[in-house]
Amino acid sequence: MDREDIIRFLTRSPLFQDLEPGILQDLADRLEVETHRGGSVIHEPAGPAVDRLRIIKEGAVKITLPFGRNDDALIDYRGTGEILGFLSLLTGGRPRGEAVTLEDTTFFVLDRATTLNLLKSQPAFAQQFFSDFYNRYVHKPHREIGKKKLLYGGGERLLFTTPVGELVKRALITASEDISIREAAEIMMAHRIGSLVLLNALGLPSGIVTNKDFRDRVVSRNRDVSQPVRRIQSVSLVKAEAAEHCIEALFKMLHYNIRHLLVVEGGRLKGIVTAQDLLRLQGTSPIAIVQELESQPSIDGLVDPAARIQSMVGAFLQEGVKTNHILRILNEVYDRLIRQVVSLEERRVGRAPLPYCFLSLGCAGRKEQVFMLTQRNALLFADPPSPEAAETAARYFGELSHAVVRALERLGFPAREGSASVHEACPFHSSTAWKNRFFEWIERADRGSIEASLPVLDFRARFGDETLAEDLRSAVFDRIARHRIFLNVMGLTIVKTSPPISAFKRFILEKEGQHKGCFDLKQKGLKPLVDMVRLYALEEGIRETSTCERLDALRERSQHLRPYCQELEYAFEIMSGLWIRTQHEQYSAGAGAASSFLDPDRLNRLERQALRAIFTFIAKLQFLVQERHEPIKI
């Protein structure tokens, strides 16, 4: 690289770009070049003082600071044009942290005397230098160490800002799927690993074999160990990008019910992350709670882990986890809890006489449940083949519904207010009966039927034969397509609930009662948005039930709503986040049944501005919905 190329490189760096041409030429002559292989330690706390300034020409470096006895905190990644080692260079002391190259990296190196002379003689260089110094070595380390203290200060503190790739500590061990079971076991023993990724003839991952596979499929069955290992492998390989945060890896493990995740970087396998890795990173994590839930043999054993689910909310909020991630993780955990409850009660009541499916409605059906709110569930079973079978089914599913409702009450989920019977708390019907109930709502198409159907239209299978739920959804969509007036009436009905904002963009507050000076964020803010998204999803035949998933699908399929999907996502994120925070504060204060009323005076200025804009935007969309569905006047 000649002098002109070096000068062009320096002028692209904020640190050097304001230097005079003569000074740049002098620097170009003084710079040396050094190259290090990936994984090289450039400096560390136990090493000597740094006497040279390194400027990254190509490559990348990871910076960590020691934390505790055997841990460290990730501080920064440095790339092309960025600097390394200036704190130690300034003080003459040993480095505070460790710098390791993430790949083959080339540096330009400037001696200490020249660097100090630049600081004294070039004000622009010094200003940029110390600005970068403050961010790199004061602000950012303080923030990251603070996160570590938050993580380890309590068992429930979670950290979801670490890239998954950071958890990969060793090279991935692979083997051919054609080797024998004995050979696979020997490889795992030799490398002291609990899993082995198997490759096909093309060198692509075809499966994974774990210690559990050896226990369950070899030892317990006395299998011949000379057989090919592919006969005992698990073929469902789930991958994560190295740059993804651990929260995404956690969600994938929960969602796919797996304990090993392949990590990919730049299209190549980087390594493997296990559930145990996440447990070590996060302390008491959702995975730990799920494992405890699924290991309990009785409802009594579920009480403690179920109570800890809500305790995760505070840690999520304190870590600044996005609302969408909070909803995804919590609802995966709640799903596991519900499945375990129904499974335990089914085991106690006895084998079901017909295939069935346990459904959740409302916010739980939309995967938007955060706290243990009032139960909104239902049970759907296959059509009985005879009157006698119908009587048997009615007795059995009545008993099962009653048992599940009572079990969920014990775990903290109250039954529906005003429920005169368990049948109202968890209605149970055959497939045909449920279809007829929906068909009646759709064909009546009046305000009463619309209001009754709205939460039920968000039904989602949580246990049992999911094909029953999908068959019901197909029948409902087909009937709606033939009775479009149902959607017209729905559109005119949902806009009756308007957001609490005046034409002058002032909040409309309660004027009396215990909520005087407040507005209902859930009923007046979130509900109108959720209702409109559901309406457009039904129009397009979108089968997803969560608001976020419906918006993703509508962005592709709805000509009418596509221009507004991004703003709707933002509005849902902001309002859901405020609602979750408000509910959490009330639960933490021991308020019992939390209220969704919000006092705008307790919000900061930016939050109030955001809500004013969101409510105004929702009112605008409601006007468009009303125009679209207004009956033609003759």
What's the pLDDT at 166?
75
Q: Cα 564 to the chain's mean position, in Å?
A: 23
Structure token digits, residue 202: 């093309």
Q: What is the pLDDT of residue 541?
A: 94
User: For residue range 314-368, what is the model confidence (pLDDT) as tens digits?
Assistant: 777 766 677 888 888 889 889 999 999 999 999 999 999 999 999 999 999 999 9
Q: What is the CA radius of gyration of the chain?
A: 30
Domain chopping of the chain, boundaries: 3-151, 161-281, 284-349, 493-633
Half-sphere exposure in the Cβ direction for 28 (13 Å, CA): 18
Is residue 263 within 8 A of residue 165, CB to CB? The reply is yes
Rounded Cα distance between 213 and 262, Å, is: 17
- What is residue 317's predicted lDDT score, i.e. its pLDDT? 79
**What residues in the chain have per-residue pLDDT under 50?**
68-69, 134, 136-159, 283, 419-420, 632-634
- H/E stretch holding 548 reads helix 547-557
Give me the pLDDT at residue 545, please.
94
Domain spanning 161-281, CATH class: alpha beta
Q: What is the pLDDT of residue 361?
A: 94
CA distance 492 to 527: 15
Instruction: Indicate the CATH number of 3-151 among 3.90.700.10, 3.40.50.1820, 2.40.50.140, 2.60.120.10.
Output: 2.60.120.10
Task: Give the pLDDT confidence score for residue 146 in this predicted structure.
Answer: 43
Question: Per this entry, what is the length of the chain?
Answer: 634
- Would you state the pLDDT for residue 91? 63
Q: Say if CB 335 and CB 299 are below 8 A apart.
A: no
Report yes or no: 333 and 254 within 8 Å, Cβ to Cβ: yes
User: Six-digit token pair at 515?
Assistant: 């909520």
Q: What is the pLDDT of residue 210?
A: 87
* Helix, strand and coil in the chain, % to nearest 5: 55, 15, 30
DSSP H or E stretch at residue 440: helix 431-444
Q: Please state the pTM of the whole predicted model.
A: 0.62
CA distances to 41, 60, 572 from 37, in Å: 9, 11, 47
Instruction: Give the CA angle between residues 53, 59, 61 to the nearest 5°.
Output: 60
**CA 104/CA 112 separation, integer angstroms:** 24
Tokens of 363: 């916010």
pLDDT, one tens digit per residue, over 116-171 is 888 888 877 776 666 555 454 444 444 444 444 433 333 333 445 677 887 786 77
Q: Pairing relation of β-strands 174-176 and 105-111? A: unpaired
Q: Which residues contact 126 (CB under 8 A, 6 or more apart)?
A: 118, 119, 120
Spatial separation of the C-alpha atoms in residues 514 and 230, rounded to whole Å: 66
